[in-house]
Structures are given as C-alpha cells and as structure tokens.
C-alpha cells in the first residue's frame, strides 16, 4: 500500500537550543518504547566545517533529559545509534579532517546517561564512511557504509561485524559497478544480513542495490534493480510471512531529475517482484517504512 500524502496530528513539537552559533543537526533517532528517544548527529564548532558529535536524550513528550557533545580533536559526525541489550547505547560516527581527505569510522558505547564506556576506531587507510549501525540481541554490532579501499571500483559497500566490546569479528567489501555504497543493514530471519544502498553504472545509471550475506558476511546474492534513471534504496525491511524483502528510497521520473518516493519488493533470492512510486511536482523520497500486516506503508519526504 502506497500513499503520496501523509496526514498526522502533532502531539508535540520541540526545538533544542545548543551552545553552537553555527548550527546542529540530528542524523538518526532511536525510539525507546514508553521511554522517549535518543538522537545522534553533529554540532558545528566553527565556520570552516568542523563538527563535534551531538547526543540528545528526551522523554516521551520530547522534553530534553540530557545532551552530550563529544570532541575528538577532529571533524566528527554522529550517523547512527541503537540501544544495547543490557543498557546504554552504541553509536557510529565518521571522523575526518576538514578537507575530507581522510575519513575513519568510530564506534562508541555509552551508558544510559551518556558516559563513554569504550570507543573503537576503524580505518582502511582510505575514505571510510559509516551510515547504519544495528545492535543485535546478543550485543554484537553490524555496521554498513562505504570505503574507497576497493579492488576494482572507486567506492565499494563496506560491512563489519563487531563483538559486544567493539572488537572486529570480520569486515567485508562488496562491489557491483564503478561506484557503490550501503545506506542500511538489517539482520534477517535466517541469521544473516541484508545491505542496501546504491550502485552506479555508466550505461544504466544509478540503481538501487541490495546485497544478502550469511552471518559471517559471505555473499549469498547481489542484485542491482536498474532503470534508466537515478534509483537509491534508503531503508530495507523483511516480511517473513510473505518471504520477501522491501526497500524504500527514491527514483527519478523525468529528464530534469525530479524524483518520486520508491517502493520495491524482491523475494528471498533477490528476484524482482514489484515496484511502485509516488510523489508530487516537487522532489520526493521515502526514507522510512511501516510494516502493517502484509502491507508496507511509506510517505514521501518532500524536498525543494
């Protein structure tokens, strides 16, 4: 089921002032059932592009409980956060110099009030970007992003599994075309992982991309869902009842690159089942989904 308009009534709206004169943003929110949410992002520290990691913890009414700012002596941006099974949280950040000539991945665990328990740095001596982190039920941590440390591509999808102390158990890179990246990862019902994002081919353009692996990151299948347009997958989900995977993102619909929100479904082997798009005269993209029984609901995120 697809809707091209979203209707809701605000129960509350909050703004959160920061100490920075240069702006701040949140890149990810993790809801805590019955107990509010936690967000991670960045706060600008100067006018030349340097940032610190920003964390905010709020109650269910959006009231600020606490906020933390972490300065690692470089340009750091918080990208993704997830609760840890025994308490506290784990978040992923990208750390770079101002010129963006070198980027590394930071994985940090904090307690329930934001005190750092441990931090691990990971780099492949290139430009390593993290976009999604998921904490599994046993405390292991799966990470998805991209790197330039590739065999045959300019950029490739990057995946890494850590133990509960942030020690790497394995890391993998995946390539499809000349430029590839992951934006999301989910833990699938078979114990493996499904990564999604985009891949670029000079003949067919930018396509939505999905990669399925087993629990050790060994490739099961990889598929680019191509069209003569720009296509990106931002989020994925699994419907175990129907034994399929669904992806939401965006697709271009005309010669001037106007985009619509995209929904695409494939089976457990990566074979295409169906796709649909929705949007208005402006640019739209879907970045979240709601699984309701056998339907996927998404609402376009309008962009000027």
DSSP code string of 141-178: EEEEEEES--SSSSBEEEEEEE-TTS-EEEEEEE-SSS
- Rounded to the nearest 5 percent, the helix, strand and coil shares of the chain are 0, 55, 45
Q: Per the domain annotation, does 232 fall within a domain?
A: yes
Q: Per the domain annotation, does 49 fall within a domain?
A: no
Is pLDDT at 2 greater than 50 in this prediction?
no
What integer best gives the mean pLDDT of the chain?
A: 86
d(CA 203, CA 105): 32
| Number of domains within the chain | 1
The range of the structural domain enclosing residue 281 comes to 176-304
Q: Per the domain annotation, does 33 fall within a domain?
A: no
Please answer whether residues 198 and 183 qualify as being in contact, where contact means their C-beta atoms are separated by less than 8 angstroms.
yes
Q: Per the domain annotation, does 289 fall within a domain?
A: yes
d(CA 282, CA 253): 11
Is pLDDT at 107 greater than 60 in this prediction?
yes
pLDDT tens digit sequence for 225-247: 976 568 999 999 999 999 999 99
Is pLDDT at 281 greater than 60 in this prediction?
yes
pLDDT tens digit sequence for 28-51: 999 887 789 999 999 988 877 788
Q: Per the domain annotation, does 145 fall within a domain?
A: no
- pLDDT for position 209: 97
Please answer whether residues 98 and 48 qualify as being in contact, where contact means their C-beta atoms are separated by less than 8 angstroms.
yes
* pLDDT average, residue stretch 16-33: 81
- pLDDT for position 186: 98
Greater confidence (14 vs 87) lies with: 87
- pLDDT for position 227: 61
Indicate the length of the chain as a whole number: 304
- pLDDT for position 23: 82
């Amino acid at each position: 089921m697809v809707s091209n308009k979203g209707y809701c009534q605000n129960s509350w709206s909050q703004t959160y002032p920061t100490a920075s004169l240069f702006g701040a943003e949140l890149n990810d929110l993790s809801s805590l059932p019955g107990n509010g949410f936690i967000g991670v992002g960045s706060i600008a520290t100067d006018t030349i592009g340097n940032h610190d990691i920003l964390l905010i913890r709020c109650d269910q009414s959006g009231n600020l409980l606490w906020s933390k700012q972490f300065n690692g002596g470089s340009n750091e941006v918080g990208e993704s956060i997830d609760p840890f099974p025994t308490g506290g949280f784990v978040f992923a950040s990208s750390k770079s110099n101002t010129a963006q000539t070198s980027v590394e991945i930071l994985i940090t665990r904090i307690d329930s009030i934001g005190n750092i328990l441990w931090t691990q740095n990971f780099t492949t001596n290139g430009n390593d970007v993290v976009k999604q982190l998921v904490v599994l039920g046993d405390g292991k941590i799966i990470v998805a992003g991209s790197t330039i440390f590739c065999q045959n591509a300019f950029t490739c999808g990057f995946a890494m599994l850590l133990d509960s102390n942030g020690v790497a158990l394995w890391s993998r890179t995946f390539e499809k075309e000349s430029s590839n990246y992951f934006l999301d990862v989910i833990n699938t019902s078979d114990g493996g992982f499904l990564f999604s994002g985009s891949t670029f081919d000079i003949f067919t353009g930018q396509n939505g991309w999905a990669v399925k692996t087993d629990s050790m990151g060994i490739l099961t299948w990889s598929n680019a869902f191509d069209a003569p347009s720009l296509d990106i997958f931002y989020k994925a989900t699994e419907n175990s009842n129907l034994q399929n995977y669904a992806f939401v993102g965006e697709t271009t619909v005309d010669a001037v690159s106007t985009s619509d929100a995209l929904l695409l479904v494939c089976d457990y082997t990566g074979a295409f089942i169906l796709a649909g798009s929705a949007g208005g005269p402006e640019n739209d993209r879907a970045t979240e989904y709601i699984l309701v029984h056998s339907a996927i609901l998404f609402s376009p995120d309008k962009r000027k």
